[in-house]
Structure 1
Amino acid sequence: MKTLFTWRRTLLGLAAAGVIGQCSAFSLGGAEEGVLLPPPALDENTQAHSETAVFAGGCFWGVQGVFQHVKGVKSAVSGYAGGAASTAQYERVSEGDTGHAESVQVTFDPTQVSYGTLLQIYFSVAHNPTELNRQGPDHGTQYRSAIFVQGSEQQRVSEAYIAQLSAAKSFEQPIVTRLESYNGFYPAEEEHQDFLTEHPTYPYIVINDLPKVAQLKQLYPQHYQEKPVLVKAGL
């Protein structure tokens, strides 16, 4: 795990320096095919125009990149959830013993995209919900599949959708996604924000994450927007 972290950190530095380009020769895993899923039979009933949800599903670069292309999403911020504020730093979280998971906080307009639709995209293309404490080439509890539910409605809809997908045997393996209590979200360092958009030729992104955005566009064109909602757009 530490070797992978060191390698990923080294490539991150090279990407930031602008000296690394697309190279499919790097063996950093590979994107899995998205699974076309039915919408949730049970969804939220709300009149709110703004709500937040926190999803964890492996490296936050790809999860953020997917949700930034979803219509109705106002922002998608990479960060950490599940642990204490004092350990919410990339190097510390990467050690795998903080309780944190690399997560994405999604702020959305429920009148444009429902919480249930976000769940559908999360389980379908944003990550593989059958991988336990890993995602693609990344291993450790910090890469677990988890939803940090905020309130009883999100809990109810999430539980119902997992049960629906499990009963329909939508995946060959059991869903291992955990529903965890929300106890705070801590934005990641600036270098991790909008990473997919800023480094589209970075090998990890090319191999693992750009296919997820392509699958979103292919499987759910009605929810796809070409222009991403970027964290740094207003800076």
Structure 2
Amino acid sequence: MNKEKQPEAGSYRRVILNPPDDVCGMVGRIMAHWSFQVWLLQQCTYTLLGVGDKQGRLAVRDPRPDEHVKMIQDLMKLAGFETKLKLSELMEDLRTLKGLRDNIAHGVWTQNMETGRLTLSIDSGIWVPHKKSEKVSRRVVPEARGIDAEGLESVRDGIEGTILITQKLLVSLEKQVLALNGKYPPPRPLGRRIDDPKSGTQQPQQPTSLS
């Protein structure tokens, strides 16, 4: 039997604290990019609802990113807003990227003691250890996935792609809000909402409704 086709045995791997610098650097970029992606989705929702960041953080739920896009779609329908962006594709991409991001954030870094190969030990969900084996919980048999800086860079690039689409969506929503002639508060000046004291343009927000 060819051992190279089998999952790496746990006895040949050791848990490591400090992966290579290029790997650590790319992990940090992935986390920062993902946080920005989530923030953009929040801004789309707050813009549609006509609330500031503070009100939004207090009152608006924070679903998974793909579900967040669905919530944005529903709010757009209520407001009569449109977009040519393919939001269904955005949802699928975000669902996939969230799984990768979560594995990278929560997996345990290990290294094959014979080959030096860096792996990420994942213990959530189910998988098939061998082609002819049945599905098994990763909590019982963790999966060791080979990983390197190049693979991590592809995840970062994927998140950059969804960020670009979400930024376009946000700009489109802000323009459509402004076209409603004051029914919604104007967009954030210099990256801040108008109810932010630091913006220098403090103005009371009028109650709004999507009905």
- Structure showing the higher strand proportion among its residues: 1
TM range (shorter): under 0.3
- Structure showing the higher helix proportion among its residues: 2
TM-score, normalisation: structure 2: 0.22
Of the two structures, which has the highest relative contact order with CA contacts closer than 8 Å and spacing of 6 or more? 1
TM-score, normalisation: structure 1: 0.20
